[in-house]
Structure 1
Amino acid sequence: MKFPCSGVILAGGLNTRFSGINKAFVRVGGMRIFDRIYSVFNDLFEETILVTNDPLQYLDWDITITTDIFPIRSSLTGIHAGLLCATNPYVFFIACDTPFLKKEMVETLIDEIEPRFDVVIPETSAGYQALCAVYSKNCINPVEQHLVQKKLKIQGFFKKVRVKKVPENILREHDPELISFFNVNTPDELAKAEKIIEQTCEISKISQAS
């Protein structure tokens, strides 16, 4: 790792589309999504931070826990809390509902860190992937300004910082299907995730047989 970087998992959502069930603990392929992300982070980061407003649920993990400073439910408040808590100048953020985050994707983004940029963000045909990106501590003040004004869109503060966009062709070199960005927000998406697991297992069996 060229530049010191912490890893932050954001788990502050209301989970309304899952009837209040914590998405981080939803199982995909028999394994909780949180455990899948934690395993990737454990291999990459010396400092892993969890932003949650329900810390008691996560006492079984060896992880630094922090909560939102601003009393507003949004991903931007989570980014703010993670940046404040991190001891490193750069922080990689991921949402807690991404079961297929690839270590190679995280490494690709971390490798793109440069001191002259404050944000390193994937850009795909679907747009920016703001919750699978690197933010520097230089973002704290611009983020605070937007939160005070109740401007909650993450991309809203980008015009006040220096942003490096990582293009889709670079991202696909290590994650051809861009599966790292797949979110489980609804029961339908959970069913789709299970199908992805099944297909991956079938491909693996075929490869081993040949």
Structure 2
Amino acid sequence: MARSGTAFPEVTLAIIAGGQGRRLSGVPKGLLVAEGRTVLERLLVLASRFGDVLLVANAPEPYARFGLRTVADVVPGKGAPGGVHAALVAARTPWVMAVACDMPFIAPEVPGVLLDGADEDVDAVCFEVGGRLEPLLAVYRSALASAWGEALAVNPSMRELLSRVRTRLLPEDVLRAVDPTLRSLANVNTPEDLERYGVALPSR
């Protein structure tokens, strides 16, 4: 993908917040604190490089102070596939970079690596690390919205959805070239993750 300076004007940064973090006492995961800032604030450091920013949140109230354009799932109850679909539907740009709101440590070089793989022959670009896909640190063509939404009727997995479109899988060494420890893939879902990554619950 051609860049304008260091920016990605044809790409929406879509932060997928979904619902509440049930395994973290219902705390909105975007408000977890890593190295002195909320995870959402850390992700928004990337925002200035994108043409637009969007938050997908079914419970938007905790994030109101950030002033982001916020949408809920169009097809409720579909988890990550539904969150990505909502972002594709709401996007005002040809491409969407989807990131999960529980990933505090995305290296600043990662968006460029993903978007370098986004060309006219590709619908999605995703890392594959240890045989596992990383669909919530990935790039999608917005035009997928209609077909993606129809596919949700049978509760497909993210892997199945990606198998139906022209997906470019980037191998682990491509990510390690900019993030040697793969810290970008760290996500915080459980109390054990809080301890492992040095992340704290927000103060009440």
- TM-score greater than 0.5 by the shorter chain: yes
Note if 1:187 corresponds to 2:158: no
Partner of 1:127: 132
Which structure 2 residues correspond to residues 1-210 of structure 1 after superposition, within 5 A? 2=2, 4-40=10-46, 42-151=47-156, 153-194=157-198
Q: Distance in 1 between matches of 2:35 and 2:124?
A: 33
TM-score by length of 1: 0.86
Q: Distance in 2 between matches of 1:38 and 1:130?
A: 19
For structure 1, list consecutive stretches of 5 or more residues without a partner in the other structure: 196-210
Letter in 1 for 2:120: P
Q: Which has the higher helix share?
A: 1
**Preserved CA contact (<8 Å) 2:123 2:167:** yes
Letter in 1 for 2:129: T
Q: Distance in 1 between matches of 2:58 and 2:89?
A: 15
**Preserved CA contact (<8 Å) 2:29 2:101:** yes
For structure 2, list consecutive stretches of 5 or more residues without a partner in the other structure: 4-9, 200-204
Q: Distance in 1 between matches of 2:140 and 2:17?
A: 17
Partner of 1:201: none
The list of structure 1 runs, each at least 4 consecutive aligned residues, that deviate by more than 6 angstroms after superposition, is: none
Letter in 1 for 2:194: L
Letter in 2 for 1:47: D
Q: Distance in 1 between matches of 2:15 and 2:187?
A: 14
Letter in 2 for 1:162: R
How many pairs were matched up? Answer: 193
Q: Which has the higher strand share?
A: 2
Offset of 1:188 from its aligned partner? 1.1
Offset of 1:73 from its aligned partner? 4.3
**Preserved CA contact (<8 Å) 1:6 1:88:** yes
Q: Secondary structure, in 3 states, of the residue corresponding to 1:46?
A: strand
Q: Percent identity?
A: 30
Offset of 1:77 from its aligned partner? 0.7
